[in-house]
Structure 1
Amino acid sequence: MPQLTDEAAPDEAEPDRSAPGRSAPERSAGDRRSAGDRPRPDGGGPAGTWMTPEAYGASRAALWTGAVVLVTDTDGRVLVQSVDYRSDRLLPGGAVDAGEAPSDAAAREVREELGVEGRYPRGLAVDWIPADTPGIPAGMRFPGEILHVYDGGTWTPERIASVRLPAQEVTGIEFAEPADLPALMDAGDARRALAALRARINGSGTALLEDGRPTVPTALDRLGVLRTRRTALHGTWHPGPVPAQPAVRDHRGWLFAPDGRVLLLIARATGAAHLPPPTAAPATAAFPLGYRCGDDGGEGGQGVHARTAARLTGLLPAGDPAYARLLATPEQVRELSDWGPAGARELESVHAARTRLSLPAPTRTPPTELPESATRW
């Protein structure tokens, strides 16, 4: 960064040869010169990188600052709002006023637009939006923007019911499946919202974005997780073995690594997340975890979705190349799935299984591609 000067300043770096033994504090004012007054070797003016405050200020880029809030419901859908001045949807938020902290702006905008009080100190993403972004009217003289995305958390039905829209500007809200955001929002806004949602699931801190794209993509970003609609699997969760009737329609495994994380498959073509079949990898100590009756009721003969828990002991050498194999916490698996209220009860059974297998509670870290060493006990 250039050094600034607008008045005489002591030159601490240059020894005072005119008065040997005198320390810098003992020098008189007449001994001091402004570094900005140093002649350049070519005689053309001040040397080095010294600049006046006016020149330095004029050299800096001017950018707008904005703040938005990412809110989900208990099914993992994202809150977007309709406004009276645009046809596409937006996350709650807006411009940061002069002298206002971005987190204060986020809280103010949610209060003004949705009538909901709150504080949102946790940042999910900071995005740099270039000045030449398509679709912005030239008359706006858009200089580019730094946009902060804050975590609004998961809103309960009661909190959603407390929303009160203003008389103008915001005309409605809805909770959208993450994969539907590109169809509902401006392309850059959708990229940013999905990147922020993945950052929340990763749990590794604030993601840095450039035009909605992470500068350091995680596995979830590289695989495009949540770009296709999640398969809805609601219904009722029942712990324990599947009864004789109805028949098993789908069988998946919670396969635990030694650190307490589980194996998760991501379809490379679609970004869809799936628990693996119990036979997807070598495992031991398997036992029935429970089963879920689907939306069709299961009891009517359409089958149920069974779950098994086991220790993951290795990897099949010829894994299906169509899938990436990740290790994730059970909570991350649930957040990447649409399991409805039964998902919380299934997660309770998963934690009980982890305890039964004498495994630690895993720390939330970004899901990582599964190395062979991760299955060594």
Structure 2
Amino acid sequence: MTTIPTSAPDDLPGPLMTDEAYGALRASAALWAGVSVLITDSCGRVLVQHVDYRTTCLLPGGGIDAGESPSHAAARELHEELGVTMTIAHGLAVDWVSPTNSSAPAVMRFPGEAIFVYDGGTWTDDRIDAVCLPEQEITSIELVEPARLPDLLSPSDARRAMSALRARLNGGGPVLLEDGHPIAPTVLDRVGVLRTARDQSHYEFRTGPVPTALLTVRQSWGWLFAPDGRVLVLLEPDTGAACLPGGTPEPEDQDSPVATLIREADEEAAAQLGDPHYLGYLTADGDPYARLRYAAALRSIGPMRADPATGRMYTRVLATPEQALELFNWGPPAADQLAAVHHARERLGIPRAPRQSFTELTGPTSW
């Protein structure tokens, strides 16, 4: 007869169980252990590896060696696979992969796996160009839109990568996953943010008045600030796509971009705002349109209702301006727009918000 040990790994064996028997018992429930590293570029595209031993792509990473810590394994794998030396210090997720949710051949007798997902950061073009691939295994790397991950990775790998990417965007710390699904989904998980390809809109941002003789105002969008320095972002529940409040001019606006913004903010988000401050406009070479940007303080949020123009009922969230930009693919020119946004925030007397979890606005709120 033996006593039943507790489940804590550092508990001593019971008085009637030998060290050998206790070790054998724990070994019988052993798991594989692995690491993945999530790396993006300045446009929010994810680095994936094409390999010569399977048909699907992978994030950088691999198995943890005996006696090796997960963070050291992640750093080692980056060096072996990409020729990059870096310290791995921030985790994004830990995923429990069940024995029945793996594509491993039956002969492997896959026992389940714990995979640690680490944040490899945002890499510059120079750093990506400096990648040195090994002679075997990794045939190439590719930077892809997050929405393409399910097409390129295995289903379990894609779920894990998307969950880790949303955890990084959310800024709330590492998340626990089971077969790639968060056990405590955030609003980003629930809406499915980034599951739809983002429009590539690398428009130049220009301050100063719009040359109306050359350009027609096509949009009027707003960076609408809550008192804590975060801005209102709208998420489409059917696609997961994000947008700022605003839209296209209507005859009732009487050629006033400010009137367009005020009307659209009310229709889309039931948002009332203070006096808008003009930031500038976006345009591209050969494009006859101007897309105006404003900043304003939020005064109140009413009960949510469907947008009369689209029939959509958006999910309203607050995010830092930097987090909001990560929801779009606006490219390098977005840095100039972000600088103008923060300059307007300072003029409005609103503090800069630290990175934090997205907050959903479900009911009426006044400031």
Q: TM-score, normalised by structure 1?
A: 0.84
Which residue is equivalent to 1:273?
Answer: 242
Which residue is equivalent to 1:18?
Answer: none
| Preserved contact between residue 255 and residue 262 of structure 1 (Cα < 8 Å) | yes
How far apart are the structure 1 equivalents of 2:65 and 2:366?
52
Deviations 1:4-47 (A, max 9, x none): 358xxxxxxxxxxxxxxxxxxxxxxxxxxxxx3xxxxxxxxx6x
Which residue is equivalent to 2:317?
Answer: 326
Q: 2:179 aligns with which of 171, 188, 211?
A: 211
Which residue is equivalent to 1:4?
Answer: 12
How far apart are the structure 2 equivalents of 1:158 and 1:339?
20
Which residue is equivalent to 2:191?
Answer: 223
Shift of 1:52: 3.2
| Preserved contact between residue 241 and residue 288 of structure 1 (Cα < 8 Å) | no
Let me know the Cα RMSD of the aligned residues: 1.6
SS at match of 1:171: strand
SS at match of 1:233: coil
Quickly say closer, same or farther: Cα 1:300–1:122, change in 2 above 3 A. closer
| Preserved contact between residue 88 and residue 118 of structure 2 (Cα < 8 Å) | yes
**What code does the residue aligned with 1:69 have?**
V
Quickly say closer, same or farther: Cα 1:349–1:154, change in 2 above 3 A. same
**Matched residue count:** 330
Which residue is equivalent to 2:210?
Answer: 242
SS at match of 1:154: strand
The 5-angstrom pairing of residues 7-86 of structure 1 reads 36=15, 51-60=17-26, 61-86=29-54
Shift of 1:197: 0.7
- 1:293 and 2:262 matched: no
Q: 1:173 aligns with which of 141, 146, 162?
A: 141
Which residue is equivalent to 1:129?
Answer: 97
How far apart are the structure 2 equivalents of 1:84 and 1:325?
44
How far apart are the structure 1 equivalents of 2:188 and 2:41?
21
| Preserved contact between residue 297 and residue 348 of structure 2 (Cα < 8 Å) | yes
- 1:369 and 2:356 matched: no
**What code does the residue aligned with 2:136 have?**
Q
SS at match of 2:39: strand
Segment of structure 1 superposing worse, 58-67 or 161-170:
58-67
| Preserved contact between residue 258 and residue 375 of structure 1 (Cα < 8 Å) | no
Quickly say closer, same or farther: Cα 1:134–1:371, change in 2 above 3 A. closer
Which residue is equivalent to 1:264?
Answer: 233
Q: 1:143 aligns with which of 97, 111, 117?
A: 111
- 1:310 and 2:296 matched: yes
Deviations 1:224-274 (A, max 9, x none): 000000111102111244332301122211011111111100000000011
| Preserved contact between residue 227 and residue 270 of structure 1 (Cα < 8 Å) | yes
Which residue is equivalent to 1:113?
Answer: 81
**What code does the residue aligned with 2:18 have?**
T
**What code does the residue aligned with 1:283 have?**
L
| Preserved contact between residue 194 and residue 241 of structure 2 (Cα < 8 Å) | yes
How far apart are the structure 2 equivalents of 1:189 and 1:93?
12
**What code does the residue aligned with 1:58 have?**
A
Which residue is equivalent to 1:252?
Answer: 221
How far apart are the structure 2 equivalents of 1:249 and 1:105?
51
Quickly say closer, same or farther: Cα 1:329–1:300, change in 2 above 3 A. closer
Identity %: 54
Segment of structure 1 superposing worse, 238-247 or 138-147:
238-247
| Structure 2: unaligned runs, 5 residues or longer | 247-260, 266-270, 307-311
How far apart are the structure 1 equivalents of 2:33 and 2:225?
44
How far apart are the structure 2 equivalents of 1:222 and 1:271?
9
Q: TM-score, normalised by structure 2?
A: 0.86
| Structure 1: unaligned runs, 5 residues or longer | 7-35, 37-45
Shift of 1:59: 3.0
Which residue is equivalent to 1:19?
Answer: none
